[in-house]
Chains A and B, each alone.
Chain A
């Protein structure tokens, strides 16, 4: 394996807007907010930034193509700015661009910013899938939605492990209850209501077996990170957060085109995790990881990710969920900020929002949600469907 990215780049500043239905704000407003917080946090000025990566997914419904929206909104002075899009992992991809840019020596200080304005479509949920699939797949794909694609994984999972739908849904409900418990303590979260398992189980079905409370919030928001060479990071602040691993993995198409995959896990996560742990030098993730922000677009996604990341044994995540292993006071607190479920999910901002929470937790600045003395944080950002996806894993520590 190549040498990797470990400890070559550090995050010295971050910003994140409140996520939610910002009827009164556009992408530009959200970009300025996240950016302002990030440079103030880093203690730098705009002119110190040498390159920028901008993530936005739904350009059709948002600000259009190219990185011009970022450069023009922030008046970035003719520096290289790149827009990237890799579905819901776009925010993590922006971070990867900035981190790799710095690691390559092409620049010393770089900006990664992700923003998404979803509430200008006129309907709930993500934009209608056929509008985003391209000219061929819109004709030959079924009428899928994100919850539907993940619901199919829930049905497979229940079937493989012999759970009735009622039994399976109760396990999933505990995941959402945990996220709501954490999200309720987060002033920047979209959904701040404590819920019960009964609330989850009685909610209307969105895509069977998943109900409303199995699905994350659809929100507007932006998040940003300032990264720099690790060896100069302490010149900006005493507690920079170091990148230990940053890996992306993307489907080859065999999940949906070949018949090996059994539909109860995400192949890209499994493979990307192996690479990320190797890059970070993690031998036993269940023991070494202190906390996680997982891509809980749906409750079932969070459940299988526990297993895909080798935290829980195959088919046994249920036991850890029921034991409170992932609760804020548990062994590996997950979704301490409320996750996509409650913090909300403005697509291209989410990967950076997850990192924002890990960064604040490592610095001991997570307020009411502070986890005791965390050492290693992991973010898992998933774009697409269980059957076709982009996975990003970032591991960070002080």
Chain B
């Protein structure tokens, strides 16, 4: 049996109420109004960092060596050429002997990557694949996309042992449908008339894929516990379900009002939220939307009971949030307005890429060392033990800090050093189990900081060197989210 072995979600902490956006930009197109709120990636997040966060949520309790492959799905890759799956794999401290691939250029990338991952396992070329789907979607200021697009990530660990939802099959339709597109020079999507996308695409492809799936596997609507697909057009979502013959109780909440359209991650995020409430025996249909539609069929197993109640999934992240009350800050985070950082902001030195390659496990993977003589964990990597009573030389073993929690030893909020989001908060952190290091602190207000505050470690953009086209990824401390 192959299928989903574990799941993990991630929503950025920041939410912006759509009323705040509409209040500033609604004068442009009054018809864009949409209620609710959307997720906003922090200034130091992108699709890669959020993928890592969801993967860490998914892999909690699993040995990292269990993972044989990593597929990444996004429409908002930070790079045109550089495999994000490899960055994510290094950050997760996965072994190097794994297959990796990025699936991109369509909001169906998440479901397409899922089919490919299942195929890889089915073909026997991998025992397990970690699938990460993540998007930071931007719409032009004043557009309806600006209100509906959102940021988030989902990870699924797929394998053939300990399966919580078994793979039962799929039905795909693929069309070169021009409802929206983006060239390599576009920052935001271009789109054809909204009504066209809705009526000729959304209302047609999703029913086509779902009914195709039902007839392919000879299923009746009553056999399905939940039908799950993006609520890009909420009213049409309900219409489609009704037309397909599903009762309201069989329809999974599409989270459009509280989360928004997270692109390639969207169908997988709502699949995860369905799994969080599912029972053994449930049959789930999940469909993606983008250049057609992929409809997938899962059967929930007894194993689901084992993961229930764990801090895994999407729902807890939905509840863990902070209001971003400034639209201007949102625009600055997404680089729609260029802010004055002063000459300090320009003082970014070059990145020695041979060094970051050499020390990739230490930098991207946050692996330090632990002394085999005295047991002291230490970061960064040391050859001479830092314990003054030990001092052993070359008695070290690798020690991963990224999955450890810690406590704030001391902190400050800095108004002098450059950061795009002052004050720059940083803290010396003492890790539970030993080890001390200092980190930038993010997703946190200075007022809530205190000595002894529990923190965890989160993969983030530390700096961006526009001149060199470099995104400097590293780890920051954050208050424990879940």
Binding site for B on A (CB under 8 A): 121-125, 127-131, 135-136, 138-145, 147-149, 151-153, 155-156, 159, 204-210, 252-254, 256-260, 263, 387
Q: Determine, out of B58-66, B83-91, B188-196, B376-384, the stretch whose residues face the partner at the interface.
A: B376-384
Chain A residues near B413: list those with CB within 8 A: 205, 207-208
A130's nearest neighbour on chain B, judged by CB, is: B349
A264's nearest neighbour on chain B, judged by CB, is: B410
Chain A residues near B352: list those with CB within 8 A: 135-136
Instruction: Find out whether the CB atom of A207 lies under 8 angstroms from the CB atom of B363.
Output: no
Instruction: Find out whether the CB atom of B410 lies under 8 angstroms from the CB atom of A258.
Output: no
**A-B contact list, 13 entries, CB within 8 Å:** A135-B351, A136-B359, A139-B474, A142-B424, A143-B414, A148-B424, A152-B411, A155-B411, A156-B409, A206-B414, A207-B412, A207-B415, A256-B436
Cα–Cα, bound, A131→B349 (Å)? 6
* B347-385 contact mask (Cβ, 8 Å, vs A): 1 or 0: 111011001100100110000000000001011101000
Min Cβ gap B81→A in Å is 22
Cα–Cα, bound, A124→B342 (Å)? 10
Instruction: Find out whether the CB atom of A136 lies under 8 angstroms from the CB atom of B415.
Output: no
**A144 and B428 in contact (CB under 8 A), knowing A123-B342, A123-B344, A387-B438?**
no
Instruction: Find out whether the CB atom of B462 lies under 8 angstroms from the CB atom of A152.
Output: no
The reply to whether the CB of B124 lies closer than 8 angstroms to some CB of chain A is: no
Cα–Cα, bound, A104→B320 (Å)? 67
Min Cβ gap B375→A in Å is 12
Instruction: Find out whether the CB atom of B438 lies under 8 angstroms from the CB atom of A142.
Output: yes
Instruction: Find out whether the CB atom of B347 lies under 8 angstroms from the CB atom of A128.
Output: yes
Cα–Cα, bound, A141→B386 (Å)? 18
Select which of B355, B387, B419, B437 is within 8 A of A143 by beta carbon: B419
The reply to whether the CB of B417 lies closer than 8 angstroms to some CB of chain A is: yes
Instruction: Find out whether the CB atom of B412 lies under 8 angstroms from the CB atom of A208.
Output: yes
Chain B residues near A140: list those with CB within 8 A: 362-363, 380, 474
The reply to whether the CB of B416 lies closer than 8 angstroms to some CB of chain A is: yes
Instruction: Find out whether the CB atom of A258 lies under 8 angstroms from the CB atom of B462.
Output: no
**A139 and B462 in contact (CB under 8 A), knowing A156-B410, A258-B386?**
yes
Cα–Cα, bound, A128→B415 (Å)? 12
Instruction: Find out whether the CB atom of A127 lies under 8 angstroms from the CB atom of B347.
Output: yes
Cα–Cα, bound, A124→B412 (Å)? 19
The reply to whether the CB of B426 lies closer than 8 angstroms to some CB of chain A is: yes
B390-426 at interface with A (beta carbon < 8 Å)? 409-419, 423-424, 426
A210's nearest neighbour on chain B, judged by CB, is: B412
Select which of B378, B387, B388, B416 is within 8 A of A125 by beta carbon: B416
Instruction: Find out whether the CB atom of B451 lies under 8 angstroms from the CB atom of A155.
Output: yes
Chain A residues near B359: list those with CB within 8 A: 136
B413's nearest neighbour on chain A, judged by CB, is: A208
9 smallest CB-CB distances across A and B, nearest first, come from: A142-B426, A151-B412, A148-B414, A257-B386, A152-B410, A145-B417, A135-B352, A122-B343, A128-B347
Instruction: Find out whether the CB atom of B355 lies under 8 angstroms from the CB atom of A136.
Output: yes
Instruction: Find out whether the CB atom of B472 lies under 8 angstroms from the CB atom of A139.
Output: yes
Q: For the A-B complex with A129-B417, A148-B417 known, give 14 more contacts whose Cβ atoms are closer than 8 Å.
A: A128-B344, A135-B351, A140-B380, A144-B426, A145-B414, A145-B416, A148-B426, A152-B412, A205-B413, A206-B416, A207-B413, A254-B386, A256-B436, A258-B388
Instruction: Find out whether the CB atom of B351 lies under 8 angstroms from the CB atom of A143.
Output: no
**A159 and B451 in contact (CB under 8 A), knowing A139-B474, A142-B438, A387-B438?**
yes
Chain B residues near A387: list those with CB within 8 A: 428, 438
Most chain A Cβ neighbours within 10 Å, of B410, B462, B463: B410
Cα–Cα, bound, A253→B430 (Å)? 15
The reply to whether the CB of B179 lies closer than 8 angstroms to some CB of chain A is: no
Cα–Cα, bound, A70→B437 (Å)? 39
B354's nearest neighbour on chain A, judged by CB, is: A135
**A147 and B349 in contact (CB under 8 A), knowing A139-B356, A140-B363?**
no
Chain A residues near B439: list those with CB within 8 A: 142
Instruction: Find out whether the CB atom of A257 lies under 8 angstroms from the CB atom of B417.
Output: no
The reply to whether the CB of B434 lies closer than 8 angstroms to some CB of chain A is: yes
**A253 and B474 in contact (CB under 8 A), knowing A139-B462, A151-B412, A259-B430?**
no
Min Cβ gap B393→A in Å is 14
Cα–Cα, bound, A371→B434 (Å)? 49
Cα–Cα, bound, A333→B430 (Å)? 38
Min Cβ gap A271→B in Å is 11
Min Cβ gap B358→A in Å is 10
Instruction: Find out whether the CB atom of B386 lies under 8 angstroms from the CB atom of A253.
Output: yes
Cα–Cα, bound, A153→B411 (Å)? 9
Chain A residues near B438: list those with CB within 8 A: 141-142, 144, 256, 387
Chain B residues near A155: list those with CB within 8 A: 410-412, 451
Chain B residues near A206: list those with CB within 8 A: 414-416
B476's nearest neighbour on chain A, judged by CB, is: A142
Cα–Cα, bound, A259→B376 (Å)? 10
Cα–Cα, bound, A260→B388 (Å)? 10
The reply to whether the CB of B446 lies closer than 8 angstroms to some CB of chain A is: yes
Chain B residues near A253: list those with CB within 8 A: 386
Chain A residues near B379: list those with CB within 8 A: 257
Chain B residues near A210: list those with CB within 8 A: 412
Instruction: Find out whether the CB atom of B434 lies under 8 angstroms from the CB atom of A259.
Output: yes
Min Cβ gap B51→A in Å is 21
B453-482 at interface with A (beta carbon < 8 Å)? 462-463, 472, 474, 476
Instruction: Find out whether the CB atom of A152 lies under 8 angstroms from the CB atom of B428.
Output: yes
Instruction: Find out whether the CB atom of B348 lies under 8 angstroms from the CB atom of A254.
Output: no
The reply to whether the CB of B276 lies closer than 8 angstroms to some CB of chain A is: no
Select which of B348, B376, B378, B451 is within 8 A of A130 by beta carbon: B348
Min Cβ gap A266→B in Å is 14
Chain A residues near B378: list those with CB within 8 A: 257-258
Instruction: Find out whether the CB atom of B428 lies under 8 angstroms from the CB atom of A143.
Output: no
Select which of B414, B430, B462 is within 8 A of A151 by beta carbon: B414
Most chain A Cβ neighbours within 10 Å, of B386, B428, B436, B463: B428
Min Cβ gap B71→A in Å is 28
Chain A residues near B382: list those with CB within 8 A: 257
**A128 and B417 in contact (CB under 8 A), knowing A142-B426, A256-B428, A256-B436?**
yes
A215's nearest neighbour on chain B, judged by CB, is: B416
**A256 and B417 in contact (CB under 8 A), knowing A148-B424, A155-B451?**
no
The reply to whether the CB of B440 lies closer than 8 angstroms to some CB of chain A is: yes
Instruction: Find out whether the CB atom of A138 lies under 8 angstroms from the CB atom of B414.
Output: no
Chain B residues near A257: list those with CB within 8 A: 378-379, 382, 386, 436-437
Chain B residues near A151: list those with CB within 8 A: 412, 414
